[in-house]
Amino acid sequence: MAGIRSVSFASPEGLLNGGETSANVYMESNAHPYSASVLSVNPGFFDTMQISLKLGRKFSSADDSRKAPPVAIVNEAFARQFFPGGNPLGGHFSGRPNAPAERLIEIVGVVADAKINSLRTPAPPSYYRPMGQLPFPSITVVLRTAADPEPILPAIRDTMHRLEPRIPLADLSTQQELIGRQYLANERLFAIASSSFGVLALVIATIGLFGLLTYSVARRTKEIGIRMAVGARREEVLRAVLREGLLLVSLGIIIGLASATALARFISSLLFGITPYDPMAISFAIGLMISISTLAAYLPARRAANVDPMIALRYE
């Protein structure tokens, strides 16, 4: 089809496809079972998914057969766990203990880590087998397009139906749509809830600051009247009340930043796609607090600046 750059196949779970297949791993001369994720792919999978090769080679058509020697490509997490400080190429493992030599799986390549079933957690130790050596009853067809895939999805469905109408298509979607449906729904819900609580806290803080400064101005009405009677300008009174409000806000920001820094490790576990020290987010939060607080302090400050000295001197 026009607009398709490459096509490959993978086991039903694929990458970020809402599932994960785990298998026991028995390293050579070791009867202790370990666990790793396993994916069955065809030779063109890594090019289609743009997973870079770090060591060794990729699968070839000669590997894609049950008669071929058992081979696997592992990710960097697998190499770090089972071959710390060593070269995994040429290493062997199996899926069951005490496997005969001819059934040991030889590692022929190392590829970059890729997320499998979570966007938050690091990629788990994983290995890939040729689909001809590890077949599945159903597969995921992976296509890389030259442009936005959305417009050609109907054409893809029609073409596959025309080629083989007996094969059902369980799902046809873009990787972005799949990630949004499988993984980002909870993240968005958490973000909306956090933002709602943040807005509520900001409203309560604004009302509290406004009430505190209004009460402070009411208590100091006589003092303000005396100051204005002896020559204080309205601008000076306005600045004095604003300074008092912004001092409280500044202290709150300092305490908040110190608390956020102390709780950075806990906060980082709740964040996705952003760090606890993100300068843009922190700057936006500080700017928003100062802007809202300035508005909350301005109204009582303007009231203080408009006090009539004669009325203020008689105020009780």
148 with 214, same domain: the answer is no
Point out the domain boundary residue: 155, 172, 189: 172
125 with 31, same domain: the answer is yes
15 with 154, same domain: the answer is yes
Point out the domain boundary residue: 172, 202, 218: 172
168 with 184, same domain: the answer is no
Question: What pLDDT score was predicted for residue 22?
Answer: 82
75 with 136, same domain: the answer is yes
Count of structural domains within the chain: 2
168 with 202, same domain: the answer is no
pTM exceeding the 0.85 threshold for the entire prediction:
no
- Residue 243 burial by Cβ neighbours in a 10 Å radius (0-12, 13-18, 19+): exposed
148 with 240, same domain: the answer is no
Question: What pLDDT score was predicted for residue 315?
Answer: 53
Pairing of strands 53-56, 92-94: unpaired
Query: Which domain does 47 fall in, by range?
Result: 4-172
Question: What pLDDT score was predicted for residue 200?
Answer: 92
36 with 158, same domain: the answer is yes
**Mean pLDDT for each 10-residue chunk of the chain (316 residues)?**
88 72 82 87 91 93 88 94 89 85 90 84 89 86 88 88 85 82 77 88 84 75 71 78 82 86 76 75 85 80 70 56
Question: What pLDDT score was predicted for residue 70?
Answer: 93
Question: What pLDDT score was predicted for residue 298?
Answer: 79
159 with 187, same domain: the answer is no
